[in-house]
Chain A
Amino acid sequence: MKSLPEITDKVKKNLIWKSVFRRDYRNTVRDRAQAVFGNVFLHLHPVQVRESAVKLRFTWGMGGITLFAFIILVITGVVLMFYYHPSIDQAYTDIKDLEFQVPFGVILRNLHRWGAHFMVIVVMIHMFRVFMTGSYKAPRQFNWGVGVILLVLTFLLSFTGYLTPWDQLGFWAITVGTNMGAATPLLGYQGPFSEYLHITPYNDVRFALLGGAQVGGNALLRSYIWHCVAIPLVATILMMVHFWRVRKDGGISKPQK
Chain B
Amino acid sequence: MNPFIEIITQPDNIAIVIMVIMVSFYMVWAFQQAFQNDRLLAAGLPVDGENDRFIDTFKPLVRIELLIALVVMVGLTVWSILVDAPLEEIANPTLTPNPAKAPWYFLGLQELLVYFDPWLAGVVLPSLIVVGLLAIPYIDINPKGNGYYTFAERKWSIIIFSFGFFVLWLLLIVIGVFFRGPGWLWYWPWQEWDHSRVVFEPTRDLTALIGIESRSLPGFIIGAIVVGSYMVGGMIAPYLYWKKNNPELLTQLGMIRYVTIIFLFITMMSIPIKMVLRLVFLIKYVWITPWFSV
Interface residues of A (CB under 8 A from B): 29, 32-33, 35-36, 42, 45-58, 60-62, 64-65, 68-69, 72, 88, 92, 95-96, 99, 106-107, 109-111, 113-115, 117-118, 120-122, 124-125, 128-129, 131-138, 140-141, 144-145, 148, 151-152, 155, 158-159, 162, 165-173, 175-177, 179-185, 188, 190-193, 214-215, 253-257
Contact A54–B55 (Cβ < 8 Å): yes
**CA of A5 to CA of B207 in the docked complex: distance in angstroms?**
89
Contact B137–A255 (Cβ < 8 Å): no
Out of B81, B87, B96, B134, which one reaches A95, CB within 8 Å?
B87
**CA of A165 to CA of B92 in the docked complex: distance in angstroms?**
13
Out of B57, B68, B90, which one reaches A65, CB within 8 Å?
B68
**CA of A170 to CA of B106 in the docked complex: distance in angstroms?**
14
Besides A60-B26, A141-B137, A192-B291, 19 more A-B contacts (Cβ < 8 Å) are: A33-B58, A46-B57, A48-B56, A57-B29, A65-B68, A92-B91, A96-B87, A125-B23, A134-B146, A134-B148, A145-B137, A168-B89, A176-B102, A179-B118, A185-B124, A191-B119, A254-B50, A254-B147, A254-B148
Interface residues of B (CB under 8 A from A): 12, 15, 18-19, 22-23, 26-27, 29-30, 33-34, 46-50, 52-62, 64-65, 68-69, 72-73, 76-77, 79-81, 83-93, 95-97, 100-106, 109-110, 117-119, 121-124, 130, 133-134, 136-138, 140, 143-150, 154, 158, 161, 165, 291-292
Contact A121–B18 (Cβ < 8 Å): yes
**CA of A232 to CA of B292 in the docked complex: distance in angstroms?**
37
Q: 5 nearest interchain CB pairs?
A: A180-B122, A141-B137, A183-B118, A110-B80, A171-B91
Chain A residues with Cβ under 8 A from B102's Cβ? 173, 176-177
Chain B residues with Cβ under 8 A from A56's Cβ? 64
